[in-house]
Structure 1
Amino acid sequence: MQKKVGYVIALLLMSTPLITQTKRLWVLQSSGEMVEYDPTTFAPKQHVKLPPEALKSPSNISVNRQGQILFAPTISLPLSEADVIDAHKIWIWNGHTATSIDQAVEHKSEEHGSNQAVTESAPFPYLSADGNHLFWFANQPRRLQREEVDLSTTVTFQAWRTDVEGKAREEMTSTKLPDCRCPTGSCDESCPSVAVWAPDDGIQNFFLTTQVVAGQTATTYKESTRYQLEGSKWTANTLSQPLQRVLDANSSGSVIVEAIPDTGCCGWSNQSNDQTLVLVDGKTSTIFDEQATYKNADYDVSFYTSNARLSPDAGRVAVTITATTQSNKAIQLSEQGQANPEESQLIRKALLELPAVEVKSVEDAPRRLTFVPHAVLVGWLNDKELLIIENHLLVAYNLGTGGRRRSTVKAEDGLHVFLR
């Protein structure tokens, strides 16, 4: 009898990590409901009704492993007249009930000599991984204006956290950027603000920031910082190179997947080389190189990775490859391109497979491990399975065998699916 009891206890101990590592799967339905599904059986588990405006902006919805759901509309600076007048609230499902929290948008204007000093702020919240906090980030520019023309600005970046009700504020960090002149009359075009990236499943022990200048025709990335929680303090570490578009990172922020987007503007789609990089302890490996793969420099069609997810061990990375056009659409020459029938034919052949999911190894010379045409990546269910979308249905794809566990769960696209 004692042996049997010991055997049962051993099984329970062995199974506990598997239970704690089980993913949670949510899908935003066309009805405006978020439905949680069992990721193994795809059986529905619970329904949560979201605000009507959330369905129109799925990119503003976030979900953590605790089952909390946050909807926070993006408010751009400088504030419009409507933004100054309107009330702004975020919506949060705390796992049991829904509530709204004031977003604390601020606008203050005062005379400063012969000029007008305008101070604005539109804080944006993120969920925490443990479900106990909200993390808030805000750029607070103080612009000097004359006759509504920007002369200069001073931007202060602030980060703090509260409880899930938006109370009990605790300061995390505050950084004042250098004073900046605005020669074009619009500070957004010449002066930096701070962009934040945080893990999809909520902030635990790190987040990333990058100083970004929007510019008139091209974005400039100036400096990136990794904020790491050490004890009870957040420590800032400047990265060796500025990050452009962060796609994913491991749990400590030591492995980062970054996209280098096309610089195309003014009606052009393909003016530079889209790449996707993996940064590991200061080393960089290229897992996607548009021009090396598709030889498309002469034509105005851009291939790029729309999303990426690291495997649980961070040894592989899965991406969705997509393009700016479809195979049945006309393809024009790029701005400096010359007609090349062979290149055009190869591009059209490649477009027939897109969107596609590709898995690469994370090493100095990354290897392709898997390629699934006509699919969109959602994420890693576990070390052996990907969750993908095929024909607008969720599918579990086995990387070892190529086998599929097909579901009847409909998904409009990857933005409507949340795998945590």
Structure 2
Amino acid sequence: MSAVVYRAPLLTPRSADRLDAWADGGLRVRDGRIEAAGDFDAVMVLGEAAVESLDGVLVPGFADVHIHWVQFPVRGAFEEELMPWLREYIWPEEMRYADQDFARAAAQRFFAATVRAGTVMGMSYSSVHAAATHIADEARVGDWMVGDVVMEHGAPEALTRASVHDAAELNARAAGIGPDRYVVTPRFALNCTPALMAALGDFARAGGYRVQTHLSESPGEIREVLREFPDAEDYTDVYDRAGLLGPRSVLGHCIHLSPREWSVLRARGSWIAHCPSSNEALDSGRMDLDTVRRLDIPYALASDVGAGSSHSLLHVMQRFLEIHRAAGVEVSATEALYRATLAGAECMGRGAVAGSLDAGKRADFVLLPRPAGGFLPEAWIEEWTRGAMAELETRPLATWIAGERHAPPAT
């Protein structure tokens, strides 16, 4: 297949405080991979290629490392606190995924919406139903990891009965997807016994699986966890005793942690899925970004739909910037873009193959409108995050995954 060079300004983050940018950029793509990225003239000397000039700016595709695809239909349905919200809206909605026809239609809508918003990869929670998880894996558009939530108790019987109850059953469910795309997913401590969590931890380590769960999202949740596990030092200790914490663990929220808990996360090398829009919607609090930075705990941004009201990572970036700035914490647009792209790929173990516009990586990228004025990358990122939620969900002009253009279709 011949190479194509996409000509447009290019922006690609390297870290939280470093961004590479080319005003007249060229992105050379062949067979779904990036062959080169940089100044257009420098890229063109590498050999013959078709040139497609684009009216916009190219950035890496977005990565969402904490989202519930089965909650997409009820995003924006809020209660004032996490636990009542789960019982009133979320668990009844997730029961519907026992119906495979319903699950299949819902998966198609979810992936159509996420790719339209520029999301090319992510980690998603499914329902308890094995068939629904496999349907999501088959319907995925992009590089997605997914796992059935484990809910042994503490929820309606229709959910707990359909859940995994031991490692052998989990192995049977995960085998058809494999460790590259299946995630071990204890929903949270209140749905699992210590014995089952320990079995899940053993299974994940032995098979090389990633783990995703929730940690310290709301004060009410924490109180219930400490009542349920009176021997634990704190919420984090519940997971640590079960062997669920490590560099392949992705913990949603991490808002109300003690100094001891922060130290444990640092020692274990666990990732945080930072969900500012979700935390704002449920009034859960604000993650202590100063402590996360001081301890160098890795984190990436995530939408947490359905508590998050939008699947758009541009919207998540907006809330990240506004919420932390309102608290007096200095955050930059470059950091927001990094945490929504390359950091997410690194969190998923994909940093070597995705997440930035680099030679050898998968050709996943998004075309965004070019703001008026001169070549001002930091200001451009700020501009892309401004606007109403619905605007941000459709702001991307086009999305490419492995070199193939997706929504909206080429005209």
TM-score, normalising length from structure 2?
0.31
Structure number, greater radius of gyration:
1
Larger helix proportion of the pair: 2
TM-score, normalising length from structure 1?
0.31
Larger strand proportion of the pair: 1
- The structure showing larger relative contact order (alpha-carbon pairs under 8 Å, at least 6 residues apart) is 2
